[in-house]
Chain A
Amino acid sequence: MTAPSGAEPAARALTGAELAGAPSGAGPVIAPSGRPGLARRLLRHPLAVGALLYLAAVVVLAIFAPVFAPYGPQEADLTRVLATPTADHWLGTDSLGRDIASRLMFGARPALTGVLVTVLVAAVIAIPIGLSAALSGGADRIVSPLVDLLMSIPAIVVLLMVLATFDQELLAAMAALGVLTAPGLVRVVRAAALTVAGEPYVAAARVYGFGRLAIALRHVLPRITGPVLVNLSLVAATALLTETGLNFLGLGVHLPEASWGGMVADASAAMNQQNWMLVPTGAVVAGTVIALVLLGDGVRDAAAEGWARPAARARPPRAAAAGPERDRRPDNAAPADDPPILLRVDGLAVAVPGPGGRPAPVIDDVSFDLRAGETLGIVGESGCGKTMTGRAVLGLLPDGTHVTGGSIRIDGADATAMGRRERAGLRGSTIAFVSQEPMAALDPLFTVGGHIAEAVRVHTGAGRAPARRRAVELLGQVRLPDPERVAKMYPHQLSGGMAQRVAIALALAGGPRLLIADEPTTALDVTVQAEILRLLRTLQRETGMAILLISHDWGAVGELCERTLVMYAGQVVESGPTATIVTAPRHPYSEGLLAANPQLGTPGVPLHVMPGGVPAPGEWPPGCHFAARCPYMTDECTAHPIAVAGTDDHRSRCLRAQPAHVIEAKP
């Protein structure tokens, strides 16, 4: 809050650490070598440059105050007291007719020396101690508890006594403030150094036999410069506020010597007659603190640039109209007398902000139907757009990602045309979702029962007690033994398999007609995987809901899904009944995927591995996306986009699978 307190700078330093991302490990705020130095990067930040210029001006004016100041600091003119700005006194005069501008210049001297002393003392104590605590467990066992202890000392009492002891010697108090600030800074240094010390190259340096001192000085210290400088700038800011506060109380420099805090006190004494004086005195303190903080922010940003270039962010243009007219039969169209169509995705295209701000497509022309009660799998390697397709259906695309074409019809209604609220109303009640990481998918602060009961209440409007009972029922429905007990547990007390059952129960709370399961078994043990798949199949039969299973695992898809889509680089490359695709794939990518599947392999025969990788969004070739990895590639494959073709039941996006007369190039 306000100065002066020693505990507070420590607190500020702590916040600063969080700003710098040091203790949270949010990312190394550190400059690897080989890029322009910190100082040069800093100069690219206009705010930081402005702050530096301001501070430099303050320092120069303070040092050369006798030269620059138009009047002496004590030069009183009793005929012109409390004057507002004039040509002679361009910041006015105080109650003794002394020139405010001149006194501000002289007052900067104790302010700046005080700040310098505090910062130096804090740095000299904290950096070596923090480094040794980070690099030596033995030192850490002493340092960390001691830091906790010292940070709780009420600094103001100590400062007052230091001032009494040294007869109002301000620098002694500022040195004491440095000592009192040091524990907070030790924490920052230790936390920042710990993240660096955990990195492989420091371990390598150890293996090469570098001593701890050498490691600390050569490898760790340079990389923690960023966070340490940021925090020193905050220490400086708080030191200045403390110095001003002490002088305001009249405990600092001896009167009538000029000090900023003393001038605020003068202003307060004259407040009943005139309050102009508050303006320049307050402004110079606030300005200097702001400059110190902005400089710190600039250092932080400049240091951060050392490890990451700022991602280009731009809004992609709004969705263009869907592509030209053509055969818009869904890729997995099924005979017409089946149950009603629950979900129809037609020509869906989705783009993410790519490098340079240009939208890069991640999904291109995806079409499929899902009928009530049907089970459909989406298979493909990572980065093929499976998850993005699921999220587009949910209406929960990541920030900056947009549907750029096509439509998603849920229960006959165009979801892409719905408002946010209407779209949100579908979630949980019509479409529910089960994610890959069951543990991370549950709020750690709520009990299992609380979680599910909340969803029940949201979807059914039930009261507290009925919702609770329903939650326990749902836990029983996902075959959790002793659902009453599980309802009282917290997520951290669950195993992975239990957590996934809970997540499924949560998804069932609103009685959904479609469950999107995104790799629901990937994070689980193999035995648990099979149980969860069996559970999903049982639930599907019991409730009659449709399931869209996103997976890279043929086993899971084979277990659960009647029909399957194979996706590659944003496109559906094959669709059809799962059994047909597994036994007779038409697209070389499906073939490759199946051949690479260990579950389908023959013992003794080496598994086939597809060469290469999925092209990144924005780097898709104009022709077949798979051409570069395809063993059957011909010149025609790369010439133009390949259309989907085949029977209603089984279709693929490959020239090879299509008799010549069926080939219809996309316009």
Chain B
Amino acid sequence: MKRILMRRLLLSVPLLFVVSVVVFVLQSLIPGDAASQLAGLQATQEDVLRLRRQLDLDEPIWAQYLHWLNGVFHGSLGTSLTNKEPVTTALGTRLPVTLSLVLGATVLATVLGVVLGVASSRAGSLAGRLVDLLSVGGLAIPGFWLGLLLISLLSVRLGLLPATGYVKFADSPDGWARSLLLPVTALALGGVTAIAKQTREAMLDVLGRPHIDNLRANGVPERRVVFKHALRGAAIPICTMSSILLVGALGGSVVIEQVFGLPGLGGLAVSATGSKDIPVIQGVAVYFTLLVVAANLLTDIAYALIDPRVRAS
């Protein structure tokens, strides 16, 4: 168990390194730089040069990267070029939004998906076709489009829920939940069907194995066979799918945040890319990567909790 976690953590070091290098190299290709952006259209060549020197943008790219890396080892992700705010602060205020959205969507998709999947695995081939059909629909309907539809129906027409905006949990837990309900639903939709399909297939696979047959033959009631033995046996592929959804939801959240006017990391990434604010982009990349690492770590832990053979190896 410890070895698995250590291995995962060790693997995440090169991952963070690769991501930050890729981001640095890519941003160096972006024509123009923050200095010319900040100086504005009226600025003279000299203004731009001065600003460039101030921002250390005149250094070679590897030196800039080393600067940044040095900062990271001292707990700093630098300061935003556009508003001088420390990157960790800018990201810190937005992280809870994205986290609530992404985790909420993943949990919702997993819970609903497992319920649907288990139900359909018990209900015969017709229910299976239905889940197949739903999963095509879930994949096909863009989340942001669904979000717009939900806003149009539930917010604009019925006035049930706020259309846009975010309420901090600390300010009002109720308002927080209401502000997240629609975006989480929109983001979760595709995931529900993916999990349902995965659950159904995994359940059918496990239910067909000899140990299930043996439990039935020795009088273990069907309810226990399904929920205790088969569902636990199916849990590993479900966890895999769930973590894949979480990573996918990071990407999806960028658009969903835009639709629902949520001040999350995605919106920051979009605006920072527009203004070539390298430290912020780099910071978002690091945070997203850390979330991916955390998701992988949680998945590994879940595997080990579920399956004793994983713990042993």
Contact = CB atoms under 8 A, between A and B. Distances in A.
Could you tell me the dominant secondary structure of chain B's interface residues?
Answer: helix
B288 A11 contact: no
Contacts of B166: none
Contact of B266 (A156, A424, A428): A156
B273 to A, nearest CB: 4
Given A237-B139, A396-B216, A455-B219, A1 B245 contact: yes
Nearest to A293: B136
Interface stretch (B10-18, B44-52, B69-77, B87-95): B10-18
A15 B202 CA distance: 12
Contact of A435 (B152, B214, B269): B214
Contact of B309 (A7, A148, A275, A444): A444
B114 interface: no
A155 interface: yes
A interface majority secondary structure: helix
A163 interface: yes
Interface centre among B139, B189, B210, B296 (most CB of A within 10 A): B139
A271 interface: yes
Interface string A413-426: 00000000000111
A282 interface: yes
A432 B217 contact: yes
B33 to A, nearest CB: 11
B306 A445 contact: yes
B233 A249 contact: no
Interface in B246-298: 247-252, 254-256, 258-259, 266, 269-270, 273-274, 276, 281, 284-285, 288-289, 291-293, 296
A552 to B, nearest CB: 19
Interface string A438-468: 0011111111000000110011000000000
A429 B217 CA distance: 10
Nearest to B250: A154
A454 B224 contact: yes
A443 B229 contact: yes
Interface residues of A, number: 86
A278 B145 contact: yes
Interface stretch (B21-29, B55-63, B174-182): B21-29
B139 A4 contact: no
B251 A7 contact: yes
Interface string A252-285: 0000000000001001100110010010011001
B18 A11 contact: no
A165 B214 contact: no
B22 A443 contact: no
B137 interface: yes
B137 A290 contact: yes
B18 A153 contact: yes
Interface in A19-68: none
A185 B151 CA distance: 36
29 contacts: A1-B248, A3-B251, A5-B252, A7-B292, A8-B251, A14-B244, A15-B244, A148-B11, A149-B11, A149-B18, A152-B292, A156-B266, A249-B255, A251-B270, A268-B148, A282-B142, A286-B141, A286-B142, A424-B216, A424-B219, A424-B222, A435-B214, A440-B210, A440-B211, A441-B210, A444-B308, A493-B312, A506-B214, A510-B218
